[in-house]
């Protein structure tokens, strides 16, 4: 088997939550040795939810689904960086590593004495990624921001929502995802640069700027015309119909878009050329746009009579752009994703067991990554890293454990006790619950 592309690269990841760990996951899958660094005082916040079967076990911090999604194929080490000994160990790891990637406010690593300027003194060719909310310079540099706040301040929330409603936060912290992708790309670019020049890099990634860069057309709208675009829900400024329509089933929907009069004629044909569709107002795109509300009501009355999957196939066969509005369950069962091995089953410690996770790297011809290893339990690889990589004798390792500088149990334990799924359904926090979900997904 060919070597993986990043074998021989070692990455230290003192990162939290989503935007940073998710950036490093594909690098681990491509062969980099990633050492995830947490502390027992402040473990990664993603260790909490979701828990297997919604029931947190005694060591709940080792079973959070979000944590496992973003930290497979990594080694897990705990270090209390508030201590001189913890900082000393971290610096020793830097001397044998290639990349440090962190996502704390700038003052944090600076106060630890572990910022780029300090670490390049002991590792001149170090690549150092700072993934911060607003960057390492400017008046906002030390502000803390999570994905929801960055969505709002970047303008993404302003353009999201219905025409007659307020701004709406997205159901997913989209900015965390695109910040992670930018960070992955930046690290790979810096590694290529170092290969050619022998020089390291400091990557000052501002998640705020990443978010704004995704709204280029909105910024240009004002720069060229002085206009601020209004929220338009699922509509298009010129095309109609361009909407999500209800279908048979509990909260099932289909998206339909007509790009041209030809698409409209094909949609009419699939609908059986109902009398209302022959209205002259609907013959052209401008007319359909003016009379959009009535048009959508009539189409919705028709789509309610079909399962979304059947309707999607009929419309696509006629050349009409249409797609099911997929649920998380739909994605896990999607034949296209399964055919491409997009979900990889990973055996995690009991009681979690087998679970599907996203494929963590891009398919590369001629390279078959080995099966994913589960995310490390808290401090799982302390002794391996300290003894095998740094050469610490057993008594020194025991001393670090006795001082609480390393460990395998959180200093504070606050397991969450979620409400039963039946109660969550009643309250509207979940839309569907399948007790036999493991059978449905082929996990039992």
**Residues labelled catalytic:** 176
Nearest Cα to Cα of residue 299 among 247, 260, 250:
247
What span, in angstroms and rounded, lies between the C-alpha atoms of 247 and 323?
A: 12
Find the helix or strand (DSSP H, E) in which 353 lies. strand 353-358
d(CA 359, CA 45): 22
Residues 287-309 as b/e (b if ≥16 CB within 10 A, e otherwise) read bbbeebeebbeebeebbeebebe
CA distance 301 to 283: 20
Long-range contacts of 324-333 (CB under 8 A, 24+ apart): 324/252, 324/253, 324/254, 324/255, 325/244, 325/252, 325/253, 325/254, 325/255, 327/431, 327/432, 329/432, 329/434, 329/437, 329/440, 332/356, 332/441, 333/440, 333/441
Q: From start to end of 120-219, where are the E strands? A: 127-132, 201-206
Nearest by Cα to 233 from 164, 328, 132: 164
Tokens 């170090």 belong to 126
Residues ≥6 apart with Cβ < 8 Å to 360: 25, 26, 28, 29, 72, 73, 344, 372
d(CA 82, CA 114): 11
What interhelical angle do 21-29 and 174-197 show, nearest 10?
A: 50
* Distance in angstroms (rounded) separating the CA atoms of residues 218 and 208: 16
Which phi and psi (to 5°) does residue 135 adopt? 95, 170
Residue carrying structure tokens 């900015």: 175
| Cα of 85 vs its chain's centroid, Å | 34
Q: Which two tokens stand for residue 389?
A: 């990589």
Q: Specify whether the CB–CB gap between 248 and 307 falls below 8 A.
A: yes
């Amino acid at each position: 088997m060919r070597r993986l592309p990043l074998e021989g690269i070692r990455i230290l990841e003192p990162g939290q939550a989503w935007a940073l760990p998710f950036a490093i996951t594909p690098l681990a899958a491509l062969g980099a040795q990633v050492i995830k660094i947490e502390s027992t005082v402040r473990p990664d916040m993603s260790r909490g939810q979701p828990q297997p079967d919604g029931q947190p076990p005694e060591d709940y911090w080792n079973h959070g689904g979000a944590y496992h999604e973003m930290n497979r194929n990594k080694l897990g080490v705990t270090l209390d960086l508030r201590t001189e000994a913890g900082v000393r160990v971290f610096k020793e790891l830097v001397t044998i590593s290639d990349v440090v990637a962190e996502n704390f406010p700038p003052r944090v690593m600076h106060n630890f004495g572990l910022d780029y300027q300090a670490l390049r003194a002991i590792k001149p060719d170090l690549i150092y990624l700072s993934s911060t909310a607003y960057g390492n310079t400017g008046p906002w540099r030390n502000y803390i921001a999570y994905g929801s706040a960055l969505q709002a301040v970047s303008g993404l929330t302003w353009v999201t929502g219905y025409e007659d409603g307020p701004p709406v936060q997205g159901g997913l912290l989209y900015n965390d995802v695109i910040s992670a992708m930018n960070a992955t790309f930046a690290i790979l670019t810096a590694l290529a640069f170092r290969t050619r020049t022998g020089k390291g890099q400091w990557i000052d990634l501002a998640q705020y700027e990443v978010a704004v860069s995704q709204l280029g057309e909105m910024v240009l709208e004002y720069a060229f015309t002085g206009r601020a675009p209004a929220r338009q829900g699922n509509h298009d400024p010129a095309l109609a119909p361009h909407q999500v329509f209800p279908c048979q089933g509990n909260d099932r929907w289909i998206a339909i878009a007509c790009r041209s009069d030809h698409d409209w004629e094909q949609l009419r044909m699939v609908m059986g050329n109902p009398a209302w569709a022959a209205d002259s107002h609907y013959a052209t795109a401008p007319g359909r746009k003016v009379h959009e509300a009535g048009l959508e009501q009539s189409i919705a009355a028709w789509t309610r009579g079909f399962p979304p999957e059947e309707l999607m196939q009929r419309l696509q066969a006629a050349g009409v752009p249409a797609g099911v509005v997929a649920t998380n369950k739909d994605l896990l069962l999607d034949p296209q994703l399964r055919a491409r091995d997009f979900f990889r089953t990973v055996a995690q410690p009991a009681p979690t067991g087998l679970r599907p996770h996203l494929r963590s790297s891009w398919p590369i011809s001629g390279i078959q990554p080995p099966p994913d290893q589960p995310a490390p339990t808290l401090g799982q690889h302390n002794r391996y890293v300290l003894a095998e990589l740094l050469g610490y004798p057993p008594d020194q390792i025991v001393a670090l454990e006795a001082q609480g500088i390393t460990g395998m149990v959180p200093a504070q334990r606050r397991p969450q006790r979620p409400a039963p799924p039946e109660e969550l359904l009643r309250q509207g926090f979940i839309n569907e619950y399948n007790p036999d979900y493991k059978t449905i997904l082929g996990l039992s």
